[in-house]
């Protein structure tokens, strides 16, 4: 069954507001998603208690909570959530290795991410559920 992107709730988390809000706007206007941006990963965790995201897109390196730890905690609450991590820093490798050792395998996008690349990667993440992206 084809699922429309407008039915999907996306949480975008980055400690830089311009990045989080820009990605959320791209997802809303170019992808047709119901996207919400967060600059504090703890806020995203609280929001997940009330509205389970279908997709979490998060920066890896943040001061309050790493994106890897955020993803694991979100997945503990929202088992069907998909995860895309993005980072512009090299310390990401050790965090990803730690997550793999715990049984989690996350995809990572490199910052800066082009909108077309982001939407293409989201399409691949949802390939098993036949995602239909909205037209702009």
pTM confidence score: 0.83
pLDDT of residue 7: 80
**Which residue reads 């609280």 in tokens?**
46
pLDDT of residue 3: 58
The Cα 32–Cα 49 span in angstroms is 23
pLDDT 10s digits, 105-123: 777 777 888 888 888 888 8
For the chain, which ranges sit under pLDDT 70?
1-6, 89-93, 128-136
The Cα 57–Cα 38 span in angstroms is 10
Q: How far is CA 105 from CA 32, 90, 119, 120, in A?
A: 27, 17, 20, 19
Residue ranges covered by each domain of the chain = 3-132
- The fold adopted by the segment(s) 3-132 is Rossmann fold (3.40.50)
């Amino acid at each position: 069954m084809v699922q429309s992107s407008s039915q999907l709730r996306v949480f975008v988390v980055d400690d830089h507001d311009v990045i989080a809000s820009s990605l959320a706007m791209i997802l809303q206007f170019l992808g047709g998603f119901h996207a919400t941006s967060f600059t504090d990963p703890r806020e995203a965790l609280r929001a997940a208690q009330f509205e389970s995201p279908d997709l979490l897109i998060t920066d890896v390196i943040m001061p309050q909570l790493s994106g890897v730890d955020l993803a694991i905690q979100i997945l503990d609450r929202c088992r069907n959530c998909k995860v895309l991590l993005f980072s512009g820093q090299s310390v990401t490798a050790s965090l990803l290795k730690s997550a793999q050792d715990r049984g989690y395998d996350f995809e990572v996008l490199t910052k800066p991410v082009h909108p077309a690349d982001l939407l293409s990667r989201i399409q691949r993440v949802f390939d098993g559920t036949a995602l239909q992206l909205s037209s702009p």
